[in-house]
Amino acid sequence: MLYRVGVDVGGTFTDFLLSDQHGNVEIFKTSTTPSDPTIGFFNGLEKAAKSKSLSLAEFLSQIELIVHGTTITTNAVLTGEGSKTGFITTKGFRDILNFRRGQKERQYEKYAQPDPLLPRHLVKEVDERVSVDGVVTTPLNEDDVRKAAQYFKDNNVDAIGVSLLWSFLDASHEKRIEEILKEECPEAYVSISSEILPQIRVYERNSTTALNAYIGPVLKRYLKKLGDELSDKNFNGNLLIMQSNGGVMTPDVAQRFASNTLLSGPAGAPLAGTFFGGTHGFSNIITVDMGGTSFDISLVKDGVPELTTEGQVDGHRIASPILDVHTVAAGGGSIAWVDTGGLLAVGPKSAGADPGPVCYGRGGTEPTVTDAQYMLGYLRPEFFEKGELEFDPEAPLRAIEEKIADPLGLNLIDAAYGIYQLANTNMAAALNVASVQKGYDPREFALVVAGGAGPIHAAPIARELDIPLILIPRASSVFCAAGMLISDLKHDYVRSYIKEYDHIEINEVNAIYAGMADKALSTLEKEGLPKEKTVLNFSADVRYLGQFNEVEVSSFEGGEFNQDHLKSMINNFHQRHNELYGYSMPNDTIELINLRLSANGLTVKPNFEKIAYGGSDPSIALLGIREAIFDEGALQTNVYDGMKLTYGHQIDGPAVITQPTTTIVVPPDYQLVCDEFNNFLMHKKGTEVKDLITNLLH
């Protein structure tokens, strides 16, 4: 029997989804080990192996694929623990990287600007120049390059980024610099912008290239260690790495394009949401994933997850395409506290994996959202993680009383419920930003809820935004890991082509698209994907003449670009501009900025099969009754074993459904039913699931 495993290393837990050749899936969780993530990685595989009565070596020999999402590069930037990096740019433009955009991004807030990614003395200039027309006007001074290389060697630099002015029009100088650096600094990791991000906008290109160099050696060391350990432990299958654009790549490609793993952790969520939502035909969904440290939101419209080229980590821009995941610091480990004004606050600080919430009994002293959930009767400690976590039932009482209840003059329950409600309010506000503020009505979307803590908060969030239907996958607690197994190999390419509408040359556009397509097909072929399993999607960045920001719109899916494709692209631009900004100007001049290609290598997907109808009576899963707190006060609440619920079982709130790695709270005004794919649908009482599904499909 061959297995496929999705692994998602989060801030608190490392999640595993195990799928066999028959489509059966199992969930495993271990604590993340921040000092060395490979420890948590192999701890989880050990746990999965034991469940099969196999040694780790025997188990690994039966795994054909591991898809791995890692936060190691993101953490390297956040903690300032990337590699010592040098940077080479065109003479006269030394400070562009650290000047960034030269303005406050949040103009009306008082906040500290992030520290420069690289110190100024490690940014070196070389004499060269390519004009705006792509013509070399000043030849490259190779002596400048060799002097910079020697300086980097003297300063023990591990990585070097190279980004020259207008190099995306002529990359010859950057390629020659790369050759010289490999001669002079053979041990250094080198990134050139014409490979990483060959497009207009010098700061974004500089920043993305510098980030790639800064984290490249960190990722390279991690992947080598992980690969060596897997090989030593008898793994002979394929290892793929999750990208922030929603695709996966081989470790060799990941080492070259390390910046594509930044923010890749949450990227599995919209893919998993699309897959699970698709079981009911939903093409418009909003996914929310609440883990230990964060609450991630993504929107899928017409079956396509939203992408953005305006990502950032700790204030440093990433301009390569990434899934548009809106993240706020609201997880189960988010710490509740009283601010200097005497008001309750939740987050952004988190208890993380160590020590974790107070109730975990690992030495935590600050009350968290999880501690409030426990106090409110939502968590059943002896069932959580099959009893592997040592709950301390008295510790959260003391922490909430000392840190929240007493300072605010509240009793324990009111204090705990205040924490819960404030977390709900923060998350609903974040969801509003990710939907309403982007021109979408959340009432027209299904809410797909994930994370170990997400289903506890799902109903209040949906109620706040009047979202009609909630879908909670059985694999909710390892949602991103599930998305990773669903991901295709994916590579994004971009080339700048700056032309007003009347001056666009169809032949030039075709030549650029063809060049990107050849490179994409070659890369996918090296990764083992034949041409017949490859899908190419072409798009373009368009704006009104004089605008600063452009809008990405679809162009065409195959064949040759022609005049009809151009007209369709412009019509798509006017429509999308109106959706985003509330207006369009069909009679104004249109300007084409960038041409893009997204190349997908189709992979085998897990098979989640339908299950037999088990009737509507869920009494077989009833564990007992206990008191839980809702808006109406303390109510006697049925508690169910979620693992025993099956297709057709219907539960009226108030109820708590508990599983080893997640808990679902059904408020008094909500109802839940188990669907034919063994997932859960939750909605307000007085509505019918069939009607809600029909409305969402139309």
Render pLDDT for 506-534 as a digit per residue (tens, 0 to 9).
Answer: 999 999 999 999 999 999 988 888 888 89
Render pLDDT for 332-388 as a digit per residue (tens, 0 to 9).
Answer: 888 999 998 899 998 888 887 678 888 887 788 899 999 999 999 998 776 555 555
Asked whether the predicted pLDDT for residue 426 surpasses 70, the reply is yes
Query: Which pLDDT belongs to residue 549?
Result: 83
Question: Where is 371: in which H helix or E strand?
Answer: helix 369-375
Distance CA 297, CA 472 (A): 15
DSSP annotation of 208 reads H
Distance CA 376, CA 518 (A): 58
Note whether 15 and 270 are within 8 A (CB).
no
SS3 418: helix
Residue of 297, 244, 285 lying closest to 267 (CA atoms): 244
Query: Which pLDDT belongs to residue 157?
Result: 97
Query: Which pLDDT belongs to residue 488?
Result: 86
Q: What b/e sequence results for 235-251 when a residue is b if at least 16 CB atoms lie within 10 Å of its CB, and e otherwise? A: bebbbbbbbbbbbbbbb
Percent of the chain residues past pLDDT 70, beyond the cut? 96
Residues whose CB is less than 8 angstroms from the CB of residue 35 and which lie 6 or more positions away in sequence, other chains included? none
Write the burial class of residue 641 (CB in 10 Å: 0-12 exposed, 13-18 middle, 19+ buried).
middle
pTM for the predicted model, two decimal places: 0.83
Write the burial class of residue 23 (CB in 10 Å: 0-12 exposed, 13-18 middle, 19+ buried).
exposed
Tally the residues of the chain. Answer: 698
Query: Which pLDDT belongs to residue 1?
Result: 55
Query: Which pLDDT belongs to residue 58?
Result: 94
SS3 201: coil
Query: Which pLDDT belongs to residue 511?
Result: 93
Average pLDDT, the chain: 89
Distance CA 436, CA 450 (A): 21
pLDDT band at 620 (very low <50, low <70, confident <90, very high): very high
Percent of the chain residues past pLDDT 90, beyond the cut? 59
CA distances from 593 to 501, 504, 544, 589, 590 (A): 10, 11, 10, 13, 10
Distance CA 538, CA 493 (A): 10
Query: Rounded to the nearest 5°, which phi and psi values hold at 563?
Result: -65, -35
Asked whether the predicted pLDDT for residue 599 surpasses 80, the reply is yes
SS3 500: strand
Render pLDDT for 6-47 as a digit per residue (tens, 0 to 9).
Answer: 998 877 778 898 888 777 788 888 888 888 889 999 999 999
Which two three-digit tokens encode residue 20? 């066999």
Query: Which pLDDT belongs to residue 475?
Result: 81
More confident residue, 176 or 482: 176
Average pLDDT in the 657-681 region? 93
Query: Which pLDDT belongs to residue 663?
Result: 92
How crowded is the C-beta side of 403, counted as CA atoms within 13 Å? Answer: 24
Distance CA 621, CA 645 (A): 6
Query: Which pLDDT belongs to residue 352?
Result: 73
Q: What b/e sequence results for 265-278 when a residue is b if at least 16 CB atoms lie within 10 Å of its CB, and e otherwise? A: bbbbbbbbbbbbbe
